[in-house]
Structure 1
Amino acid sequence: MTATLIYCYDPMCSWCWGFRPTWTKLQKALQGLVDSDQLAIQPMLGGLAIDSDAPMADDMKGKLEATWKNIHSTLGTEFNFDFWQTASPRRSTYPACRACYVARDMGLEEEMYHAIQEAYYLKAKNPSDIDTLTECAEHIGLNPAGFQKNMQHVKNERLLEEEIEQARHIGLNSFPSLALIIGDKLTSIPLDYKDHTSMLNAIKKALS
């Protein structure tokens, strides 16, 4: 029986950006289990904030900027703080999540995820905007017109919302989060943002 490791994320979650180097190491360490069909890694979109055209409130801006500073000081993660002066933030992460959903069909979900993170956190671009997401799509080799059409389809069919409901149903309410499914048993894997070893050991222990 192949076990499934679910990685629940939101491309505009700053803690997911902070977790990225350690998550990359963990994926590499698990590659042998993936290659031998003992483990499948399944990304799942968490959806932090629904669609909105409203400008972000000043208190929310301050809270998020403080979170970035906390992650930078705790983990050494790089951020471009110009975003808070030059962009027009909205509390809306569903468009960025849909972009990852669209890229998944092309086998490019991780590439889209990384392109959005880098546009947001390093280049101070706003992934709540379709223009930024289309740029990211082009960057990873997707056709811009086709990408926008697929984005509308995912929105019309509420495909993202279905996935978010699925994540909530199995108790994945924070991002990033990891859960291992073996048969009908779900085991939550505690996160370590600085070292992948404890997560690797917990996964191996659950599999044995």
Structure 2
Amino acid sequence: MTGPHLVYVADPMCSWCWGFSPVVAAIRARFGDSLPIRPMMGGLRPQTTKPMDAAAKRTIRTHWEHVHEATGQPFDWAFFDREGFVYDTDPAARAVVIVRRDGDGPALDMLRAVQAAFYAGNRDVTDAAVLADLAAAQGVDRDGFLAAFETEDAKQETWRDYGISHQAGIAGFPTLLAGEGDGAPYAPVTRGYQPADAIIPALERWRTAVAG
């Protein structure tokens, strides 16, 4: 990308990214097209195959409780009544990557839709049909989405995101990076959750310095 922009490294099934969702919305509302945000999938638990056991549920529930307390984001706790759920984050990430082909804005909208469906709606976002419904609600052709979802190209594109994130040393989400374009290095805005009233003033100072 050219010019000042942000790269948002996230995972649709990362609870702290759900907590960060209103912050992303606030950034978009404040800066609009003057500071585009490129979503990149970090890969939280791609291709997990083991169903969640009682210990895993306790651990994840603790994370959700912390996010809810810190951010006020809603959660449907009935999720923990599910039996045999496999917490594979790859399908949801691939869904965002497919929609990203239509632009970063639609991808950010899809990311939020998947997050809301999973955390607040207790929907199974490892299911391609559920993801297709969410994409269709964003104006994406449902049949076209499903056709793309199973392609090797979509799978490899998603794993390229994971690889770039890993090579950049990004191990936690959300991570927000600021770049000036033209090959300039990226600078971290935040590694982990920060509220909007901490992020936006920092971005305003950076934008002023870049415009300098």
| Aligned-partner SS, 1:120 | helix
Structure-to-structure mapping, 1:165-180, within 5 angstroms:
165-180=163-178
Q: Which runs of 5+ in 1 are unaligned?
A: none
Structure-to-structure mapping, 1:123-134, within 5 angstroms:
123-134=121-132
How far apart in 2 are the matches of 1:92 and 1:8? 18
Match of 1:102 among 89, 93, 98: 98
TM-score (norm 1): 0.86
Match of 1:65 among 50, 61, 67: 61
Q: CA deviation at 1:130?
A: 1.7
Deviations 1:93-128 (A, max 9, x none): 011000001111233212221221121112211111
1:15 alignment partner in structure 2? 16
How far apart in 1 are the matches of 2:61 and 2:43? 19
1:206–1:141 Cα change, 3 Å: closer
Q: Which runs of 5+ in 2 are unaligned?
A: none
Whether the 8 Å CA contact 2:27–2:200 is kept in 1: the answer is yes
Whether the 8 Å CA contact 1:98–1:154 is kept in 2: the answer is no
Deviations 1:10-65 (A, max 9, x none): 1111111111112211222223xx43xxx432111111111234312322221111
Q: CA deviation at 1:92?
A: 0.7
How far apart in 2 are the matches of 1:189 and 1:21? 16
Match of 1:160 among 158, 161, 184: 158
Match of 2:73 among 50, 72, 77: 77
Match of 2:144 among 143, 146, 164: 146
1:186 alignment partner in structure 2? 186
Q: CA deviation at 1:193?
A: 4.5
Q: CA deviation at 1:155?
A: 5.7
Match of 1:137 among 135, 138, 162: 135
Q: CA deviation at 1:152?
A: 1.4
Q: CA deviation at 1:154?
A: 4.8
1:154–1:3 Cα change, 3 Å: farther
1:185–1:109 Cα change, 3 Å: same
| Aligned-partner SS, 1:56 | coil
Bigger mean CA offset, 190-199 vs 129-138: 190-199
TM-score (norm 2): 0.85
Is 1:5 the counterpart of 2:6? The answer is yes
How far apart in 2 are the matches of 1:12 and 1:72? 15
Whether the 8 Å CA contact 1:5–1:42 is kept in 2: the answer is yes
| AA matched with 1:206 | W
Deviations 1:63-83 (A, max 9, x none): 111111111122222100001
Whether the 8 Å CA contact 1:192–1:198 is kept in 2: the answer is no
1:8–1:154 Cα change, 3 Å: farther
How far apart in 1 are the matches of 2:66 and 2:36? 33
Match of 1:114 among 112, 115, 125: 112
| Aligned-partner SS, 1:82 | helix
Whether the 8 Å CA contact 2:94–2:154 is kept in 1: the answer is no
1:157–1:25 Cα change, 3 Å: closer
| Aligned-partner SS, 2:62 | helix
| Aligned-partner SS, 2:150 | helix
Is 1:203 the counterpart of 2:199? The answer is no
How far apart in 2 are the matches of 1:131 and 1:205? 43
